[in-house]
Structures are given as structure tokens and as C-alpha cells.
Structure 1
Amino acid sequence: MRAHRYLKALGQVGAAMTLGIGLSWPVTASADTLADALVGAYNHSGLLDQNRALLRAADEDVAIAKAQLKPIIRWSGGLSQSFGDRRTDGTFASDTSVENLSATINLIGELLLYDFDTSKYRIEATKETVLATRQALESLEQRVLLRAVSAYMGVIEASEFVALRNNNLRLLTQELRAARDRFDVGEVTRTDVALAEAQLAQARSGLAGAEGNLLRAIEEYRNSVGRAPGQLRAPPNLPEIPRSIDAAKALAVRTHPDMHAAQHQVAAADLSINSSIADMKPKVRLTGRYGLTENFDSDAHSHVGSVGIEVGQTIYQGGALSANVRKNMAQRDAQRANLHVVRHNVEQAVGDAYAQLAAARAQLEASDGQIRAARVAFRGVREEATLGARTTLDVLDAEQALLDAESTRVSARAALYVATYSVLSATGQLTAQDLGLPVQIYDPAAYYNLVKDGPVLISKQGQKLDRVLRALQKD
């Protein structure tokens, strides 16, 4: 199910709860949304740039394979100096000195006429490899975007933990002050004060740990998105996902880029077998040659050309040709086994994402009830403590129970969002195009269309390609 409908509103979702970072680093004036983070990750990722370059390299393999069916024109030249003595026999025997300087230049042309489709199979195999590389790029794009979602929710989660720890520290400071006041009037013992002091020290330690976790979350965000987070808005409504695991698994098997990549790799391996078998058969070539020879010590010269058809076949090469066929068969079997593995991995990823989603939902629902009960209990215990019916330890335990419940809800809410987007990734729908992100979508076919026929630099297509390459280098 396409997800662009819910993400179009990402930038417009109201901030019912705007979360500040809370420590001493600069923040932007306007709050960042989840869509902003995803756009930043898509535009910033060096992994995407790296694999786009690898895809362009695979595109060039198609042009290289096609070149085998095009004319090959080359030239050669040489300069030679002859020297020595020559003696002739017979009635008029004589000795002559040989001194001769000559230059030659040859123009040679070749054209493959027929090779039992060896080149054709190789071309089709490289095309399948290009398609597999495109799918690998799409799969990587999903991992980049999912990491951005995790980083975004990680900063929100860590920020809320810091806020909870600060609030807990304020409450425990009040409890310690109250315990000391009650100790001064003889209502509690020194033990109660010590308990409050210990709990406050533990709260300070917990706050320091939460602030450290927040700093690490910020670094993860910076690495994933390309900039430090400002104020982050609360995430939007959860995206729509398939209702059942079975439906999601069926969708993933049909649409996930890892599945498509594995299928193209199997097809490329099959074509490589056909190519290696055909490579054992004869080849027919059209050849042409034109040469010039000039003698600098005499008027002798020659201008000679020839055109002909050559037929040839390798009969024996130490078993290399047969070994290449068997090698390609083994690689085909390996790719088929890999397709089997990928299918199960894709299905497992869907199951894992739904399991994580179910756990987060259950934990979130339970934490809501736990928070309500813990809040009522804390207020009641604190009130009873003022009347002498509860000890300071009871109050501290109730406060800790409330903090634990609120922390559980924070973690469950972050896990719920990450799990939901993990379902999208596991089913192959977490791409910039599926999400409707306002970015310049990378077109994997654009470069391929420019280079698939191997344009030379002086052609119109070659000059257009040169401009594209210069633009890529500037980036």
C-alpha cells in the first residue's frame, strides 16, 4: 500500500507537544518535522551517492558488451632501418652494402559478423546485472530512510527522558526538603532524610546518563540526516500498513527490491551460461587492411589494401572453455539458492517488524494504565505521608514507580513508530517516491539511456554525456 498520502501532511502537522533539546547547543528557530529529516537523509547520504556511482559503472558494462558487435578500427605504424652486406653468386657475383630506411603505416578494421549469439547473451546478462544493481540501490535507500526515522525518534525519546529526569529531580528535591523539615520537628528519623538524599543522588546520576544518551542520539541524527537537530515536532499519525502479516509477506515477496535484485541475478547467471556455451563455437569476422610503405633511400613504395572474411574457432585451450561453462553453472545454482535465502529473509523481516509493532502497541496501552494508577498512587502516598501514615521510603518508591511507567510509555511510543516504518521497509514501500518526499528523485535510467550505446565524445550524445559527468563531479 503506497504511503504518500500520510506523508504529504508531515510538514503541516501541528506541534501538540514541541520537544526542546534542553542542553547547551544551538537550535533553529523553526521546528523540524519527520519529513524534514527524511529529506535531509535522502539528500545527504554518502551511501546513496556511492551506490549511484556503482550503478553508473554497471551501466557502462552494457556499452562495453555492445561494443563487441560494432566495427573495430585501429592503426599501427613503424620505422625500420636495414643495414649489412649482401653477396650474390654466379658469373656476375658482387658484394653490395644494404642501407635502407623505411616507414610503414597500416589501417586495420574488423567487424564481428556472427558468433552464435555469444555477444547477445553477454549484453542481456549485463542488462540484468544493471537491473539488479538498481534494485540494490532502492533497497539501500530504504535502509537510509529507516535509519533517519530511528534517529528522529531517538532524539525525541532521549529528549523526553531528559525532561522526565529533570522533573523527577525537582520532585525529589522537594521530597528531601520536606523530609528535612519533618526531621527538624521530629516527625521522621535521620534514616528518612538519608533515603531522600540517596534517591536524589541517584536521580542526578540518572539525569547525567539521560543527557549523555541524548548527545549520542544527536550525533546519530547528525550522521543520518546531515545536520544537527533543532526542535523536533511530535511525529505525525502512523502510516497505513497491511492489516495482516500474511498480506504483508505476500506484498514483500512481490515488491521488495531485494527479491527483484535476486531474480535479476538468477537471470544474469542463466544468460552467462548460454554465452559461455556459444563462446566455444566458431566466429565469423569481416576484416580489412590498408597499408603504406615508403622507402627513404629510393623511390620504392607500396600502397596495398585487402578485404576478407575470417572464420575461426578455438578447438582446445587447456580445458578453459569447458571450465568456464561449469563455473557459470555453479554461479547460476548459487544465485538460485540466494533467491531462496532472500525470500525467507524478506518474510522474516516482515514477521520481525510486526512482532516489534505488536509488542510496542501492547506496551504502550499497558503503560497508559500504569501511569494513571502510578500517578494516583503517588499522590495518595504523598498525602498519607503528610498525615504520618506513610514513610518517606513509601513516597520515594511511589515516585520511582511513576517515573518507570512514564519512561516505559516514552520508549514504547518511539518503538511503535520505528516498528511501523520497519513494516514499510520490510514490504518495500519506504522509498522517497512512495513517501512523496519533496526531493529530486534520482532517475536510475537517465544515465543508462545516455551511455547504453557507447557514444563517442565528439557526437551530440557524447557532448551531452560530458556535461552530465561534469555536473556529477561538481556535486
Structure 2
Amino acid sequence: MLKIRFGSKRSAVLATVALTLLGGSAHAMTLQEAVQLTVSTNPEIGEARASRLAIDHELTQARGLYLPQIDLRAEVGPEYTDSPTVRSRGDFNGDTAWPRWNLSIVLQQRIFDGFEADSEVERQAARVDAAAYRVLERSEFVGLDVIQAYLDVMRNMELVNLARENVNVHRSTLSEVQRLVNAGEASVADSQQAEARLRNAEETLISFEHDLEEGRITYQTIVGQPPGQLTMPAPVIASVPLDLDSAVQTALGGNPLISIALADLDVSQAELREAESVFYPSLTLEGTASHGFNIAGQQGDESRANLLLVARYNLYRGGIDSANRQEQIAHIGERQERLDRIRREVEELVRTSWNTMESITRRIPVLEQEVVAGEQVRQSYREQFVLGARTLIDVLDSENELFNSRVALSSAQFAQIFSRYRVIAATGNLMNTLNIRVPDEAAAVARENAGGVHQAHVSEVPLGNDYFR
């Protein structure tokens, strides 16, 4: 009768996993630390931060429209003059050319520009806030990538150790079978079957090791350094909304993608007001002071100064202004539709994330029972095999089924952790949940500091008779 000594190594593999996760590297990093490091150094977030800073300077340029414009002008060169004044002097015979120079300073200050400067400041402020929300959105997005990479490395480490245990079990089985074959107590077919199962277990181990290395590469690409000691993150179930409806409402009010779309809509509304500024008259304060020599044929020094209020009102520009206004109205409609689309996409993301989380949560108890049942089946098959009631193939099959169940349970447990983070990220609360300090560029306060963007209603703005402009 074929007798094989089996020994459970579940406790040994758990100890190995713990040592691998907690003591296999010189540097330990928690999930929160990994996310914080990435948010501070990741180039994708850095690109969004640089874009925000660039638009900050565009806002500064827009505020410059409120300030006076001062120009200094210098002229030098010959000047030919033929005028009644020159001809009346007689001595120049109505034809004179003299070297001249002139130095002048010109000041222009907007008094009223049809709210063009206000609209431009509001437009740039909305663009700044949109860029700020983009920094936050990238932080949330990349932060979720870090979490996935972090958990994938931990999961693959555990799967590798499960696969190593599986290889050791099959190697021990093959060794025992070969001993019995040599003793004439087992057939060569039994040895061949045990060896085939061992090779299959080794191939699975190689595949899992490949996945682990791929996971490490992904982690290093996102975080910027290889994974060190990884620790199981603290539970975040308390940060998950109580129900799906609450999650949807939280996302519609806090997801940065929606905030970006709202800011873009404010940009379009400000662009409409800026386009309408040309339908108002403008009033400018203009001052000039100059000093020159031989100006306009008058020999000698000359000084002038004036301070004028200048009003301008365009009467006709070939319909350009009217067409521009209609263009901006169309852009408002376009961005409103984009906002509606993004709201639907965010709601879909929340619902699918929630469904995944619920599905995995329901699967885990089933998988846990499957593992317990698999352990019982394996033990029963071993005992029955000793009594001759089961074949070696039955025993090997039970071992393989138990291994697959353990792999499925481990994968589901890590997937459950990630699914909770994914729901939190969909609502826009990932950084807050992890207590991550986001970049300063993520602060969206430009519109508030600019006095707030008017909420334009296109239907309230009459066309008037601007078709001619």
C-alpha cells in the first residue's frame, strides 16, 4: 500500500509572508507615506502644478488691465515741412528740412471699457481654479494608482509564497513517491504523475514571480522608488459612504472632474461678457507731455502737455462682434453639455465601483468557506488514500484545488481593500481620507479672490441691434 507522509505548511507560509512583507528590505514605507511621496514628486502631478502656475501669471497679466499704461517715445532725424506757417516766413521759400528730435511720455488709463477688464480677470480666475482642480484630480488619480500598485505588490508577494508552499508540497510528494517506487510499493505512473504536478506547480510559481516583478516595476514607475517593506494599510471602511445614494451625492458635489467642468463653464461665461464689452462705449484718460526741437518746421525748442478724456464708440465692424458674441454663446452650450456628460460619467464610476465593492464583499465569505472545505477534503483524501480508498491523483487534485482556493481568497481580500479606496476616490475624498497634504497649487480660490464670476444667463442678454457690428 502506498503511504505518503503529508505535513501542513499553512502556518509556515503565513510566517514567510509576514517576514517578506515586514522584514525583507532596509526601508519601510506605509501606504500613506507612499501616496504622500508620490503626490509631492510624481511628474504627472508636477505637470499639472506647472500649468496652474503658468495660468496664475496670466491672471496677473489680466489684472494689469486696471493699471495705467505709460509709454516713453523718443524721435530723432530730419523733417521736411511745407506749410502756410513756414511759407509765410519767406526766408525758407516754403521749402525747409531741419534736423529734429522729440521726447514724449504718454499715459493711458481705462475709465470705462464695457467691463472688458473685469471679464478678463474673471475668465483668468476661472482658468486658474480649473487648473487647481486639475492638480487635485491628478493627485486623486495618481494616489489611487499608488494604492493599486502598493496592494498589487503585497498581493503578489503572498501569491508567490503560496506558490512556493505548493511547490514544496509537490516536491515532497514526488520524493516520497519515488522512494516508494524504488521500494516496489508504487508504480512508475504514480511517479510520473507526481512529477507532472510538480512541474505545473513550478510553472505557476514562475508566473507569479513574473507578476510580482511586474508589480514592482509599476510601483517604482509611479512612486519613483522601488517598494521596500510594505505594511497592510489601516481599514478605511469608516470613510466609505453609508449607501450608494450617499456616495453618488458626495461624488456629484466633490469629484474634481465636475469642479473642473464647472470652472470651465465659468470661463465661457466670462468670455461671453468680454465679447459683449465692445457694444459699450469706452472712456479713457490720456495724457501726453513732450519736449522737442525744430518740430513741424518751427525752429527752436518746444514743449507741450495735455490731459484728455477720450470717448470711443464703434459703429460698424462688418458683423464681427455680433458673430463673436454668438460664438461665445455656443461655447457656453458646449461646456454645459460637457458638464452634464461628466456628471453622468462620475455617477457611472461611483455605481460601478460600488457594485464591484459589494460583489467582492459577498464573495469573500464564500471563498473562506471554500478554503475551509478544501482543507477538510484534502485531509479526508489523505486519510482515505492511506486506507486505499483514494488514488494519488485524487490527493493531488485536492491539493491543487485547495491551492487555487487560497489564491482566489487572497486575491479577493486585496481586491476588497482596493475597491473601498476606489469608491472613496470616485467621491473625491481620497486625499482627505489618507490625510495627504496636496500641493498648494490645488487651492481653488482665484474666483473668490476676484470677487466671484457672474453667473451669466444667455437668455437674459438681448441681441439688440448688434447685428451690424
TM-score band, normalised by the shorter chain? 0.7 to 0.9
1:236 shift after superposition: 1.9
Paired AA for residue 68 in structure 1? L
Counterpart pick for 2:192 among 181, 188, 194: 194
For residues 224-243 of structure 1, what are the structure 2 equivalents within 5 Å? 224-240=222-238, 241-243=240-242
Paired AA for residue 202 in structure 1: N
1:188-267, aligned counterparts within 5 Å? 188-240=186-238, 241-267=240-266
The CA distance in 2 between the partners of 1:52 and 1:98, in whole Å, is 63
Identify which range, 317-326 or 421-430, moves more after superposition: 317-326
Matched with 1:18 is 18
User: 2:330 is matched with which residue?
Assistant: 330
Q: Which residue of 1 aligns with 2:268?
A: 269
Q: Distance in 2 between matches of 1:16 and 1:139?
A: 38
Deviations 1:328-353 (A, max 9, x none): 11110011111111111111111111
- AA in 2 matched with 1:250: Q
Distance 1:110 1:89 in 2: 36
Match for residue 460 of structure 2? none
Question: CA contact under 8 A between 1:48 and 1:141: conserved in structure 2?
Answer: yes
- Segment drifting more, 41-50 vs 169-178: 41-50
Contact 2:289 2:305 in 1 (8 A): yes
Q: Secondary structure at the match of 2:176?
A: helix
Report the residue type matching 1:28 in the other structure.
S
Deviation at 1:322, TM superposition (A): 1.3
1:107 is matched with which residue: 105, 108, 133? 105
Within 5 Å, give how 1:461-472 maps onto structure 2. Answer: none
* Offset at residue 69 of structure 1 (A): 2.2
In 1, are the aligned partners of 2:39 and 2:439 still within 8 Å (CA)? no
Where does residue 49 of structure 2 map in the other structure?
52
Amino acid in the other structure paired with 1:238: V
Instruction: Give 1:364's aligned residue.
Output: 364
Unaligned runs of 5+ in 2: 1-14, 452-469
Structure 1 residue matching 2:285: 3-state secondary structure: strand
Residues paired across the two proteins, number: 431
Letter in 1 for 2:226: A
Write the letter of the residue equivalent to 2:52.
L
Q: Is the aligned partner of 1:436 residue 2:435?
A: yes
Which residue type is aligned with residue 32 of structure 1?
Answer: M
CA contact (8 A) 1:180 1:193 kept: yes
Sort the Cα spacing of 1:446 and 1:415 in 2 relative to 1 into closer, same or farther, 3 A: closer
What is the CA deviation profile of residues 82-116 of structure 1, one whole-angstrom value per residue up to 9, with x for unaligned ones? 58999x999x8987995632222221111111122
3-state SS in 1 of match to 2:20:
coil
Percent of aligned pairs with the same residue? Answer: 22
2:395 is aligned to: 395
Deviation at 1:230, TM superposition (A): 1.1
Distance 2:245 2:87 in 1: 99
Cα deviation, residue 259, structure 1: 2.0
CA RMSD of aligned residues (A): 3.2
User: What is aligned with 1:283?
Assistant: 282
Q: How does 1:35-114 map to 2 (within 5 A)?
A: 35-82=32-79, 100-114=98-112
CA contact (8 A) 1:65 1:123 kept: yes
1:8 corresponds to which residue? none
1:343 equivalent in alignment to 2:346: no
Give the letter for the 1:367 counterpart: L
Q: Deviations over 1:18-69 (max 9, x none)?
A: 35169xxx95335322222222222221222211121122222322222222
Q: What one-letter code is carried by the residue in structure 2 that aligns with 1:125?
A: R
Deviation sequence 1:202-248 (CA, Å, 0-9, x none)? 22111111111111111111122221111211222233211211111
- The 3 A distance-change label for structure 1 pair 280 and 83 is closer
1:94-150, Cα deviation, whole Å (9 max, x unpaired):
879956322222211111111222322222232222222222221211111111110
SS in 2 for 1:28: coil
Residue 317 (structure 1) shift = 2.5
Q: TM-score, normalised by structure 2?
A: 0.84
Partner of 2:7: none
Distance 2:222 2:128 in 1: 27
- The structure-2 alpha-carbon separation of the partners of 1:174 and 1:234, relative to structure 1 and needing over 3 Å to count, comes to same
Q: Structure 2 residue aligned with 1:34, among 31, 35, 49?
A: 31
Answer whether contact 1:56 1:448 (CA < 8 A) is retained. Answer: no
Equivalent residue in structure 2 for 1:141, among 139, 153, 162: 139
Q: Say if 1:19 and 1:231, in contact at 8 Å, map to a contact too.
A: no
SS at match of 2:229: coil
1:112–1:285 Cα contact (<8 Å) kept? yes
CA contact (8 A) 1:51 1:137 kept: yes
* TM superposition shift of 1:162: 0.8
What's the TM-score once normalised by structure 1's chain length? 0.83
The Cα offsets for residues 61-80 of structure 1, whole Å up to 9 and x where unpaired, read as 32222222221111122221
| Unaligned runs of at least 5 residues, structure 1 | 1-14, 454-475
Aligned-partner Cα distance in 2 for 1:257–1:164:
40
- Residues 426-458 of structure 1 show CA distances to partners (whole Å, capped at 9, x for unaligned) of 111111x44223x57526459969x989xxxxx
Q: Secondary structure at the match of 1:104?
A: strand
Distance 1:222 1:404 in 2: 29
Kindly state the Cα deviation for residue 183 of structure 1 after the two structures are TM-superposed: 2.2
What's the CA shift string for 1:395-452, capped at 9, x where partnerless? 2211110110011011101111111001111111111x44223x57526459969x98
- Counterpart Cα distance in 1 of 2:408 and 2:254: 35
Give 1:184 shift. Answer: 2.5
